[in-house]
Structure 1
Amino acid sequence: MERFYFEIPGPERKEAAIDYIKEFYRYNSDINGAGGLPRFLNNYEGWLEKLNLDYTRVPNEEKVPGRTYFLVRESDQRIVGMINIRLTLNEKLKHYGGNIGYSIRPTERGKGYNNINLYLGLKVCDHFGIDSVFMDADLDNPASWKTMEAMGGKRIREYYDDVNAHCTVVDYTIDVKNALAMHPEMEEMILPCSFT
């Protein structure tokens, strides 16, 4: 059985992280949950500085504190996914964007890895005292919203967003403690890791 863990991005992952993003470009795939890494491909060290600022940020209506992680497969140490967790929400994020953005690299999709990614993300939320998570996805991205549903997500709204996404969006809430309690089997697939 494959096992996975979250890793806080560091300088030793520069080439692997850039390769992760470039794979999305090769497959012409949207990139989510990468903490802004696509804007820093020529300045990875600057991205790491940004992540440190993100973690200690005082929330306002423009920015909120957050944490970005690599989802790493133990057997080959490959970055198979990423997740960005906003530790609080401003008014905009309460309506669009929510607490969590995530992705699995195109060549690793269809293996259930995003369920593990979100499960670990909910453990992070629990660690930081977040009881309820708000998330959204494009309706035409069932892989994303089915992951939310697999972790106990309840659909609360479906609407056409003509401001941010320009498509039909579905909103979900997840009760963090309930979702974690529902999936004890996930513990066999993860390794202990630090969330701070």
Structure 2
Amino acid sequence: MILLRPSMDYSQQVLEYKKEFLENGDTLAGSSYLERYENYEEWLKFVLDNENENTKHTQVTASVFLAVREEDNKLVGIINIRHALNNYLFNYGGHIGYSVRKDERRKGYAKEMLKMALEKCTNLGISKVLLTCDADNIASAKTIKYCGGILENEVQEEDVLVQRYWIEL
């Protein structure tokens, strides 16, 4: 698997990914608001602009990557690395968000994506990475722990209990 920056080459696969998640009632975690965009080109512009300190559209600069299986060039997941933490991200969201297609789960892709993203965090100068997940998301908690995550605490965000993990790089 490789992590690639979003491009027009993957527009159809990203739109299919979005459709699949919405049809399944799943959350598009780590997709940088993909669910809000009907037009791929507008989402792509948003994502690429948000990598630049001067043109970012959100409160923190972030990088989005497509997790693509090399054997068949299939998009299996999307991962977002936030370069810094604002108050909300510190409490509930963390440095990294990610999602994996339903039919590709339980195959180790999330672990592989997270390990690769942690390497990118090192390159960005982030030495301590915060990851969060809903307390009932056992698969995500296992992935985070596998990659070195240490549970700091649990916090309530509205009606959801959120676990906060730190990984030292």
**AA of the residue aligned to 2:160:** C
Alpha-carbon distance, 1:159 to partner: 2.9
Aligned to 2:166: 173
Bigger radius of gyration among the two: 1
* SS of 1:143 mapped into structure 2: helix
**Contact persistence 2:30–2:79 (CA under 8 A):** yes
Structure 1 Cα separation of the partners of residues 6 and 124 of structure 2 = 19
Q: Which runs of 5+ in 1 are unaligned?
A: 177-196
Q: Aligned match of 2:105 in 105, 109, 131?
A: 109
| CA deviation string 1:40-77 (max 9, x = no partner) | 1x2111111111211013599x6100000000000000
Output the TM-score relative to the length of structure 2.
0.94
Q: Aligned match of 1:144 in 136, 140, 144?
A: 140
* SS of 1:173 mapped into structure 2: strand
**Contact persistence 2:92–2:162 (CA under 8 A):** no
Aligned to 2:15: 18
**AA of the residue aligned to 1:79:** L
**Contact persistence 2:149–2:167 (CA under 8 A):** yes
Higher relative contact order (CA 8 A, sep 6+): 1
Percent identity, please. Answer: 35
Aligned to 2:152: 156
Question: How many residues in Structure 1 have an aligned counterpart in Structure 2?
Answer: 168
Alpha-carbon distance, 1:160 to partner: 2.6
Aligned to 1:184: none
**Residue 79 in structure 1 maps to residue 75 in structure 2:** yes
**Residue 8 in structure 1 maps to residue 5 in structure 2:** yes
Alpha-carbon distance, 1:91 to partner: 2.4
Structure 2 Cα separation of the partners of residues 128 and 159 of structure 1 = 27
**Contact persistence 2:92–2:157 (CA under 8 A):** no
* SS of 1:129 mapped into structure 2: coil
**AA of the residue aligned to 1:174:** I
Alpha-carbon distance, 1:92 to partner: 2.4
Alpha-carbon distance, 1:39 to partner: 1.1
Q: Aligned match of 1:36 in 30, 33, 36?
A: 33
Aligned to 2:86: 90
| CA deviation string 1:55-111 (max 9, x = no partner) | 013599x61000000000000000001101101112222112110100100010011
Output the TM-score relative to the length of structure 1.
0.82
**AA of the residue aligned to 1:20:** Y
Q: Aligned match of 1:122 in 115, 118, 121?
A: 118
Structure 1 Cα separation of the partners of residues 127 and 54 of structure 2 = 20
Structure 1 Cα separation of the partners of residues 100 and 108 of structure 2 = 10
Q: Which runs of 5+ in 2 are unaligned?
A: none
Structure 2 Cα separation of the partners of residues 30 and 46 of structure 1 = 20
* SS of 1:9 mapped into structure 2: coil
**Contact persistence 1:80–1:104 (CA under 8 A):** yes
